[in-house]
Amino acid sequence: MKKIIVACGAGVVTSTTAMNKLNEELQARGYEEGQDYKLIQTSVQSVESMADQADMAITTTQYDNDSIKIPVINGLPLLTGIGADTVIDQVENLIKEG
């Protein structure tokens, strides 16, 4: 099971919206939360300290940190809908890696 951090500025509002969209789209593609993936909601300030427990991070705000070793994806498309399929494709590819 892949663990995916979903983070926003405060770790509440936009990360919840992004998580809901991500869940909806992944389930539509046949994946199940808790079986294929687990979403971890937090603030961008906590991403670095949680990165060693996850396989990917999706942030809805600008985030640059070269010290973490997992992929970080811009999650803004999950909020706007523009380019959301690309984000979902990236997450799906991670899940498929096993």
List active site positions.
Answer: 8
One-letter amino acid for residue 24 of the chain? E
Length of the chain: 98
* Dihedral pair phi/psi, residue 29, rounded to 5°: -90, 5
Paired with 2 in beta bridges are 37
